[in-house]
Amino acid sequence: MGKDLQPAPVERASYPARGGNRVRVLIDGRETFAVIGERVRRASRSIWITVSFVDLDFRLPDAEVPLLDELDAAASRGVDVRLLFWWSEFPGIGSFRGDAADLEDMARRGVRVKMRWDHVPRGCHHQKSYVVDGEVAYVGGINLTGDGLSTREHTTPGHHDVFAEVEGPAVADVAENFAQRWNQASRFDGQGHAFPSTDAAGRVDAVAIPEDRGSTTVQLVRTIRRGLYRGGRGWSPAHGFDLADGEQSVQDALHRWIDAAKQLIYIENQYLLATDTLALLARAAARGVDVIVVAPYRPDPNLVLYPKELMAETRAMLDALAGERRFGLFGLLRPSNDGEPIYVHAKVMIVDDELLSIGSANLWPPSYNRDSELALCVWDPRLARTTRGRLWAEHLGDGEHRGLDDWRRLAHERTPPSRVVAIDPASYYRFAGDAVAPWSGIEPRD
């Protein structure tokens, strides 16, 4: 399958490009979680979820009880429900650590959901994925928090974000990623950190490859930190590797797609801090490719903590991009008089209306080599074009929008229903001298 695809699939990767899939793009949180919730409630065999940032009181749209209670109800009817949580040594930043008091409370309540905890030193298990009944999977960037419940209209608080639903052979790879991480979860291997017990939260096996459900080709790519897991990997015999050496197929895929672009690169991402990626985008713009990037109008204030040398390198690259005629950086504002920014949390890239990537990875070094990440790379011109059209209609309003010049014009006019505003790359990531990061001063704790 992979030999005829352009660009070619990543060879040093755990999973091959698989045909026969049906992919549906879900835009913003309410649409995403309405679909996932409906599927979860119909589950008959299994629900496996990798969890990053989470609020245990999170409720699906229009639900009467928290998601954890809905999952427990599924477990009570015999569904194998498993949650793999990120365990952070920094309490209070958004992970559910499963501390002793939490586990005692769940035991008193008789919770039947199986849980394990996984730790990446001074990093984040950033994957967000769901596998239901081994038949359908969901991959994207939306967290199980209140900010994940945005609507297309963005008249209420919440991030702009994107997820993807996949049915077909690629589901087996999303399930295998879960199984591999679950079975080697660091807090379980080293400390038996599990619920309701180490025996009850036992190992899982990968699922059988589902039958074809469509005609779309998908490769699941990942970031796995060196030394975190172990075992032989690789779909290509010539490019086999030991997972103990890590996996960087997310970075490899994004970079080869940028290099292959001929007309348009459209990106939505929370961070723009990977200087190697920015250099490739500058090279693409210099050869005449329209490069349109949508990012948070106000950057994450915790970036005040980003290493000063790396930030200086990023600013230098953004200064260079500011001089590229075919590069444009934009933010989004809510459709109200106060012009409050819409925080862009999506991780999307569309190339030439032929290639589409949706996942959890930001464009910064930790997403390439430290944090665990997961993304779907999709070869499907019709889906890529339709997805771009839907996103542009949300941001720019309905109409025929052809490229960077239209974005610049609408950002200048600032006329509803357009929500876009231009950002000067040379001024981005310039924080006030007295800026304080919300996470400043949080100390690690076992």
391 SS3 class: helix
- 414's CB contacts (< 8 A; 6+ apart) are 421
Give CA angle at 88 (83, 91), nearest 5°: 115
Intrachain domains 18-216 and 233-427 with the same fold: yes
Distance CA 87, CA 77 (A): 28
Residue 358, sorted as left (phi over 0), alpha (psi -120 to 50) or beta, turns out to be beta
For residue 203, with 0-12 CB atoms within 10 Å meaning exposed, 13-18 middle and 19 or more buried, which class applies?
exposed
Q: Which two tokens stand for residue 3?
A: 């030999």
- Helices of type H across 19-153: 29-41, 67-76, 100-109
Q: Which overall architecture, per CATH, does domain 18-216 show?
A: 2-Layer Sandwich (3.30)
Distance CA 198, CA 124 (A): 23
The tens-digit pLDDT sequence of the chain (446 residues) is 556 899 999 999 999 999 999 999 999 999 999 999 999 999 999 999 999 999 999 999 999 999 999 999 999 999 999 999 999 999 989 899 999 999 999 999 999 999 999 999 999 999 999 999 999 999 999 999 999 999 999 988 899 999 999 999 999 999 999 999 999 999 887 788 999 999 999 999 989 999 999 999 999 999 999 999 999 999 988 999 999 999 999 999 999 999 999 999 999 999 999 999 999 999 999 999 999 999 999 999 999 999 999 999 999 999 999 999 999 999 999 987 567 999 999 999 999 999 999 999 999 999 999 999 999 999 999 999 999 999 999 999 988 888 999 999 999 998 888 999 999 999 999 998 888 899 988 888 87
Question: Would you state the pLDDT for residue 325?
Answer: 96
| CATH class held by domain 233-427 | alpha beta
Distance CA 338, CA 9 (A): 45
Q: Which two tokens stand for residue 125?
A: 């298990």
Distances (CA, A) of 335 to 154, 160, 339, 394, 400: 7, 13, 7, 11, 20
Question: Would you state the pLDDT for residue 443?
Answer: 83
What's phi and psi for 174, nearest 5 deg?
Answer: -65, -40
DSSP labels, 397-434: -SS---SHHHHHHHHHH--TT--EEE--GGGTT---TT
Q: Which two tokens stand for residue 260?
A: 């292959």
Distance CA 224, CA 120 (A): 10
Partners of 129 in the beta sheet? 50, 139
Q: How many helices (H) and strands (E) does the chain have?
A: 11, 20
Element (H, E) at 49: strand 46-51
Q: Is the dihedral of CA 406, 407, 412, 415 positive or negative?
A: positive
pTM: 0.97
Q: Where in the chain are the domains?
A: 18-216, 233-427
Helix axes 381-396, 404-413, angle to 10 degrees: 10
**Residue type, position 358, single letter:** I
Nearest CA to 72 out of 39, 117, 112, 126 is that of 112
Residue that has been written with the tokens 């209306």 in this structure: 353
Show the 3-state SS of 219-284.
EEEEEECCCCCCCEECCCHHHCEEHHHCEEHHHHHHHHHHHHCCCEEEEECCCECCHHHHHHHHHH
